[in-house]
Amino acid sequence: MDNSAIAAVFEELAELLEFRGENPFRIRAYQNGARAVRDLDEPISQIAADPDRDLASLSGIGKTLAEKIDTLLATGSLPQLAELQQAVPEVVIAMARIPGLGAKKASKLHEALELNSLDDLAAACHAGEVAALKGFGKKTEAMILDGLAIAKAASERIYWASADKIVTELSAHMQGCNEISQLKWAGSYRRGRETVGDLDLLAVATDRAAAMDHFEAFPGRVSTIARGDTKISIRLGKAFQVDLRLVDAEEFGAALQYFTGSQAHNIHVRRIAKEQGLKINEYGVFRLDDDTRVAGATEEEVYAAIGLPVFAPELREDRHEFEWAEQHQLPDLIEIDQIRGDLHMHTSATDGQNTIREMADAAIERGLQYIAITDHSQRVNVAGGLTGEKLLEQWKIIQEIRPEYEGRLSILCGIECDILESGEMDLPDTVLSQADWVLASVHFGQKQSRDQITDRILGAIENPHIDCIAHPTGRLINRREAYQVDLDAVMQAADQHGTFLELNANPARLDLNDTHLAAAKRMGIPIVINTDAHSIEGLGVMPFGILQARRGGLTASDVANTLDLAGFEKRRNR
């Protein structure tokens, strides 16, 4: 077993123990162990085999985990994990992901109704069986029906960022196969969707069987779902699937175009082809009358054969791309190296892990010219939110260290100020007026009515001290729906008052989403793409935000933090 497979075992153990409500310290130990193993830069089997070294002395491992690693290396499995998997069926874990349901109620439902899938649960709800159970009732049943979609997605789709990790590992592995001459990732991963259902890999190989063998030898593979002559599907971890398709070199571009999708985009492409007497499929572009092949080897020639440009994969959703292509107005989509500032990050003064200086140094390393330090305000007491007094002290410190960064990085005195349940701001105007940069966000009272929440955000937009609304809908992908909010009204107000809207680049947030961003662009509302980093590593999520922005059709000129600081300030005070 390689490091990542062992880490995955510890992660699953932690998840199952957490589910069973076991000792949090034990759970933490497995989570830390998983991270420690994953971050090692040499194979853990090598350390275990070295008589001069001791696994238990590695940071984050310890005696218990060292023994388990020995067992895993020797036998490839862990009895404790098998027992836990037996005790907690997968469907119960899936049910527990329904917001508001939790482990206890999920177990109870499972026992009482003998459910085998989330679909069974939906059926039981519709049949009134859930409401009839003791301790459940109509309200719980409605909550379950509301939350089923989220739980379903969570058990079927992973964050793009998680898919990207797999892609990196699997790409490196496939590099070692000499029989492969071309290799490309397609599907929703290539389109940059916020979640990915499965991964689609395409290859041209001189020896297809050898390429499949190599694919099957990937250390993260748990099982092979199916293997044929041109396609093989493997399973990684508990459920995640990767498909590899082997095609001829003359078909590679057509296959790449087809399997990148989306299906809706492809249907539109096929219609355009047909209008020109052509047929397009995964094998190539052909003349309808005599079946002559006119293109297929590259995506460029495939699109060119039907008079279309090579669309950026992020735009292939059949939204506006064909209209834009016709008018020769395809947007020049934003790229990561156009970002100059990051206006949302936390430090150890609240729930971040690093100091202001550490964040500043890391920002310089990432090529940024300016940042805003935006810790939480007092209402977020679980995160150690700052009182006005504490905040003013922090800003003084920032002013003191600024000279050290002169000419290298500008550090703005900022704050992420809570919009309270009452609609008031968590800090007085006398404090906010002294800031260089104020984000406003909703963390509490997310269950309020649509009118209430909308009014709270409108109030913040109208406040002259507020520069930007952070993560405007509050959704957490696979975990929590957006709160009820009238985004049209929010955008109109933002436009009117010159308030920025954030695209939060955290892979679990990506808030605003792609269609919201497209709407904001149409209205001319400047977007700011921020990392909301809680550590120096957290600054690394910017690329996920860029992908989402590209899916929304955004160019550099739609995103305010592509400007230098002077330009950014000017845009803000328009």
Determine the length of the chain.
Answer: 574
Q: What's the token pair of residue 516?
A: 């919201």
3-state class (DSSP) for residue 119: helix
Contact letters for ligand DGT, residues 58-97 (x by CB under 6 A)? ----------------------------------------
Which of 474, 480, 463, 528 minimizes the C-alpha distance to 501? Answer: 528
200/418 with CB nearer ligand DGT: 200
Give, as ranges, the residues between 237 and 266 that touch ligand DGT (CB under 6 A): 258-259, 261-263, 266
Cβ atoms of 151 and 98 closer than 8 Å: yes
190/456 with CB nearer ligand DGT: 190
Q: How far apart are CA 314 and CA 515, in angstroms?
A: 12
**Closest-approach residue to ligand DGT (CB):** 261
Cβ atoms of 489 and 499 closer than 8 Å: no
Stretch near Zn ion under the rule CB under 5 A, chosen from 89-97, 156-164, 251-259, 528-536: 528-536
Within 13 Å, how many C-alpha atoms sit on residue 222's CB side?
14
Q: How far is the CB of 454 from Zn ion (least distance, A)?
A: 21
Burial 482-515 (b: 16+ CB within 10 A, else e): bbbbbbebbbebbbeeebbbbbbbbbbbbbbbbe
Instruction: State the greatest distance between any 2 C-alpha atoms of the chain, in Å, as a whole number.
Output: 79
Confirm or reject binding of residue 507 to ligand DGT (CB under 6 A): no
Q: How far is the CB of 218 from Ca ion (least distance, A)?
A: 17
Residues 6+ apart with CB under 8 A from 276: 306, 307
Confirm or reject binding of residue 416 to Zn ion (CB under 5 A): yes
Cβ atoms of 414 and 343 closer than 8 Å: yes
Specify the DSSP element, H or E, that contains 226: strand 221-227
E strand spans, 262-395: 278-281, 284-287, 293-295, 341-342, 370-373
Q: How far is the CB of 551 from ligand DGT (least distance, A)?
A: 13
164/198 with CB nearer ligand DGT: 198
Identify what 262 binds: Zn ion, ligand DGT, Ca ion, none; CB under 5 to 8 Å per kind. ligand DGT
Q: How far is the CB of 226 from ligand DGT (least distance, A)?
A: 14
Of 11, 314, 467, 532, the one binding Zn ion (CB under 5 A) is: 532
Confirm or reject binding of residue 474 to ligand DGT (CB under 6 A): no
Of 11, 164, 198, 502, the one binding ligand DGT (CB under 6 A) is: 198
Q: Would you give the distance in Å from CA 120 to the centre of its chain?
A: 29
Between the CA of residue 467 and those of 35, 183, 499, 502, what are the distances in Å? 37, 45, 5, 10
Query: For 441, phi and psi rounded to 5 degrees?
Result: -150, 160
29/242 with CB nearer Ca ion: 242
Confirm or reject binding of residue 243 to Ca ion (CB under 5 A): yes
CB atoms within 10 A of CB 172: 10
Stretch near ligand DGT under the rule CB under 6 A, chosen from 188-196, 206-214, 445-453, 456-464: 188-196
Between the CA of residue 79 and those of 7, 72, 83, 234, what are the distances in Å? 16, 10, 6, 24
141/342 with CB nearer Zn ion: 342
Give the Cα-Cα-Cα angle 541, 545, 548 (nearest 5 degrees): 145
Contact letters for Zn ion, residues 374-413 (x by CB under 5 A)? ----------------------------------------
112/174 with CB nearer Ca ion: 174
Stretch near ligand DGT under the rule CB under 6 A, chosen from 22-30, 55-63, 186-194, 547-555: 186-194
Q: How far apart are CA 244 and CA 231, in angstroms?
A: 6
Q: How far is the CB of 161 from Zn ion (least distance, A)?
A: 18
E strand spans, 249-385: 278-281, 284-287, 293-295, 341-342, 370-373
Of 92, 94, 180, 196, the one binding ligand DGT (CB under 6 A) is: 196
Confirm or reject binding of residue 317 to ligand DGT (CB under 6 A): no
Number of residues in contact with ligand DGT, rule: CB under 6 A? 14
Q: How far is the CB of 216 from Ca ion (least distance, A)?
A: 17
Of 187, 385, 414, 474, the one binding ligand DGT (CB under 6 A) is: 187
Q: What's the token pair of residue 126?
A: 């519709």
Number of residues in contact with Zn ion, rule: CB under 5 A? 2
Identify what 263 binds: Ca ion, ligand DGT, Zn ion, none; CB under 5 to 8 Å per kind. ligand DGT
Contact letters for Zn ion, residues 485-524 (x by CB under 5 A)? ----------------------------------------
Contact letters for Ca ion, residues 148-187 (x by CB under 5 A)? ---------------------------------------x
Q: How far apart are CA 315 and CA 495, in angstroms?
A: 25
Q: How far apart are CA 417 and CA 235, in angstroms?
A: 44
Confirm or reject binding of residue 197 to ligand DGT (CB under 6 A): yes
Of 12, 198, 321, 416, the one binding Ca ion (CB under 5 A) is: 198
Give the Cα-Cα-Cα angle 86, 3, 76 (nearest 5 degrees): 45
3-state class (DSSP) for residue 158: strand
Q: What's the token pair of residue 304?
A: 């060119």
Q: How far apart are CA 160 and CA 201, in angstroms?
A: 15
Confirm or reject binding of residue 470 to ligand DGT (CB under 6 A): no
Stretch near Zn ion under the rule CB under 5 A, chosen from 98-106, 302-310, 381-389, 416-424: 416-424
β-sheet with 293-295: strand ranges across: 278-281, 284-287, 293-295
Q: Give me the residues that bind Ca ion (CB under 5 A), please.
A: 187-188, 198, 200, 243
Q: Give me the residues that bind ligand DGT (CB under 6 A), please.
A: 187-188, 193, 196-198, 200, 258-259, 261-263, 266-267
